[in-house]
Amino acid sequence: MPHLLPRAPPLAAGGHLQGSSLERLPRQTFPQVETQDTRYRQELTPGTNQDDAAEADEEELATVCLEQRRPIALKALKLAASGHPKVPLTSHLPKPLPLKCTALVQIPKEAVLAGAHPSPSSNSSMTTRELQEYWKNEKCRWKHVKLLFEIASARIEEGKVSKFVMYQIVVIQTGSFDSNKAVLDRRYSDFERLHKNLLKTFREEMEDVVLPRKRLTGNFSEEMICERKLALKEYLGLLYALRCVRRSREFADFLTRPELREAFGCLRAGQYARALDLLVRVVPLQEKLTAHCPTAAVPALCAMLVCHRDLERPAEAF
């Protein structure tokens, strides 16, 4: 028999339903719309219980959501529906990596300094904060390497026109035994020239550094020479305490340039033995002064190689 729709309720003026007629309509007035979900429910066997229906609904919903995303998940659902052992829906996802505790750091036995307190054992673990504090304390115990200047002696020399005082400067490195101490000679005029060159660049930094004044008379008296030796020693110490000054080219030239100039002159003249003797004495000092810029010592090192080659002593170059 053809499906007959029930008669619609009467309409009021304007085409609206009268009163609450819409609320009193019987349930069968509106035809049921067949959806994918209801069609799937009708295909269930009569003996299917409520739990199985809920499980089937979940699998159907998962299939609709994942069929365009992950083929592996769709394959797992099909295997589960075809009677294979039940496959969990999350089996296709990668397993999470094990958590790593980045706050704990293993201290190797070799890294532990002798006499440190507290000293971590080879099997102990420390947090990042404890490790930072440990190395901070160790750093405070390290000895800072620096240069010390001494005016060992002074002698009076006579030139062609006048006589002058030559001061012998000894430069040693602290922190360990220094077998390559440098010994060099400088006049007061060399100190005066250094001071003028430094003031051109570091006038503000050197406002508290004063060079001992030059006197017109009494410069060669023993008392005056001893007093100036102490003053020049203090002057060099104050200059070295200023980082910008001790790394400057003017300061390095004051301590190494005269010897390097003489060494390169002997090298050009073919006096390789004399040149090598000067370079062996001045290059260690140059390397200490230019530790922040190692390339500054390359020309002098190359000159030493030339001397060893021409003296037929290549093994001594290493």
Count CB neighbours of 259 within 10 A: 20
Q: Which letter does DSSP use for residue 10 in this model?
A: P
Q: What is the pLDDT of residue 1?
A: 46
Instruction: Output phi, psi for 295, to 5 deg.
Output: -65, -15
> Quick one: CA torsion of 187, 188, 194, 196, rounded to 10 degrees?
-150
**Residues 109 and 122: beta-carbon distance below 8 Å:** yes
Tokens standing for residue 280: 């062996």
User: How buried is 14 (Cβ within 10 angstroms: 0-12 exposed, 13-18 middle, 19+ buried)?
Assistant: exposed
Residue 3, pLDDT above cutoff 60: no
Give the residue-averaged pLDDT of 187-197.
96
Instruction: Name the maximum alpha-carbon separation found in the chain.
Output: 143
Instruction: Round the CA-based radius of gyration of the chain to a whole number and report it.
Output: 47
**Residues 213 and 163: beta-carbon distance below 8 Å:** no
HSE-CB of 17 using CA atoms within 13 angstroms: 9
Give the residue-averaged pLDDT of 271-291.
94
pTM over 0.85: no
Residue 153 bridge partners (DSSP): 168
- At 175, the pLDDT band (50, 70, 90 cuts) reads confident
How far is Cα 197 from Cα 262, in angstroms, rounded to an integer? 22
